[in-house]
Structure 1
Amino acid sequence: MQQSAQKQQAPSRAVSFSQLSTRLLFIVMSLAAIIALLLFVWPTEEKNKDFYSFKSVNIRGKLISLEKYRGSISLVVNVASECGFTENHYKDLQQLQRELGPMHFNVLGFPCNQFGNQEPGSDQEIERFVRRTYGVSFPMFSKINVKGPGVNAAFKYLTDSSGKEPNWNFWKYLVDANGEVVDVWETSVPIAEIKPKIAMLVRQLIVKRKDEL
């Protein structure tokens, strides 16, 4: 009788094991589907980034979103305080900011010490120098790397999207209102030479905004 009862219970155990296997298989397949979806979505989101989607620390140590500059034209420059190009560039960049700043434009200065160790000071020293010497009023950011190990994420976007990486101080990236790089100029190109294109973009932006009203 006991053997007969055990035989009758056996099928019940087999059914329970089958149900458990089915549930485990469903869970594994669901997890695999979720992982596959994440692997598909993440690269897409990365590709959709633009310059204004990043954050960066300003020269006073505060983390800010570059999103605040969306809708404006930006000239992004890796600056240095002890370079042979410092004098002319800072003067002309500040003049550009003074003339076009009120019309949806900003120079964005990113100090960098990677080229000739020509930006050795602290953020506080850099800010004091540019404010006192050149009356700089445009936004300045904390000292960063613009290439190689530890490169700033926003600058990596600039170089990756343009295909052009700085090889000295005062490279200039022109970014449109949507955060896309529209032009790049190396160190030796003076501000006077690039000003007409910047002014043209600013004018186009003003006209577009008026048309949208």
Structure 2
Amino acid sequence: MLSFGSRILSPITASTVSRFSSTMSSSLYNFVVKDADGKDVSLEKYKGKVLIIVNVASQCGFTDSNYTQFKELLDKYRNQGLEIAAFPCNQFKSQEPGCEIDIKNFVSQKFNFEPDLYSKIKVNGDDAAPLYKFLKKEQGGTLIDAIKWNFTKFLVDRNGNVVKRFAPTTEPKDMVKDIEQYL
């Protein structure tokens, strides 16, 4: 025991640190983000759903296959509880230069697809969006935790647990087995 003036302080133990750390960690559902129209959206809206969170870019080589396959996944699994949250990001070779309205129109017109589209964010660096700092903490990457490119995908279970991270080169169709496990 330590004393500080007339107060006696308990020693800090591993369990004390563990309890403190767990109260400090966030839940996915605690985040509020801006949608493509600039409105606040609580991610609590995804409670009870299986969610794919992905950073997107309209001018990336992965764009066509990812958006096409995301639409197919939603068409097949939305009624079972699948949702997709797309976060435009311009950090990788400026492949998402447009504004949110342009991005929304591009995805809707070219792919006949309307995912939950959010405002542009940064996914790496000191000014990375808090949501992405959380996602990277929950599911680190291979070698480094940084997001390596557009279309890095995170799979979230119905309880808000970030259960898997997929590389940009993983096509959405190759996520089906994992998605079905949590539906």
Alignment deviations for residues 128-169 of structure 1 (CA, whole Å, 9 cap, x no partner): 111111112221100000111211111111001112231100
Residues paired across the two proteins, number: 169
Partner of 1:45: 23
Native 8 Å contact 1:174 1:184 kept in 2: yes
- Corresponding residue SS for 2:41: strand
Runs (5+) with no aligned partner, structure 1: 1-24, 30-39, 203-213
Q: Which amino acid aligns with 1:180?
A: N
2:181 is aligned with 1:181: no
2:150 is aligned with 1:169: yes
2:53 is aligned with 1:76: yes
Share of identical aligned residues, percent? Answer: 33
Q: Which residue, out of 168, 172, 175, partners 1:191? A: 172
Q: Which amino acid aligns with 2:85?
A: L
2:130 is aligned with 1:149: no
Q: Which amino acid aligns with 1:200?
A: Q
Normalised to the residue count of structure 1, the TM-score between the two structures is 0.73
Runs (5+) with no aligned partner, structure 2: 8-16
Partner of 2:91: 114
Partner of 1:8: none
Q: Name the structure where strand makes up a greater proportion of residues.
A: 2
Alignment deviations for residues 67-124 of structure 1 (CA, whole Å, 9 cap, x no partner): 0101110011100000000000000011111111111110110100001110000011
2:104 is aligned with 1:127: yes
Structure showing greater radius of gyration is: 1
> Whole-Å Cα distance in 1 between the matches of residues 173 and 182 of structure 2?
15
Alignment deviations for residues 15-49 of structure 1 (CA, whole Å, 9 cap, x no partner): xxxxxxxxxx99xx7xxxxxxxxxx88754322x2
C-alpha RMSD of the superposition: 2.2
Normalised to the residue count of structure 2, the TM-score between the two structures is 0.85
- Corresponding residue SS for 1:151: coil
Runs of 4+ in 1 over 2 A off after TM superposition: 40-46
Q: Which amino acid aligns with 1:194?
A: M
Q: Name the structure where helix makes up a greater proportion of residues.
A: 1
Native 8 Å contact 1:50 1:178 kept in 2: no
Q: Which amino acid aligns with 1:104?
A: G
> Whole-Å Cα distance in 1 between the matches of residues 29 and 51 of structure 2?
10
> Whole-Å Cα distance in 2 between the matches of residues 42 and 115 of structure 1?
36
Q: Which residue, out of 80, 83, 86, partners 1:103? A: 80
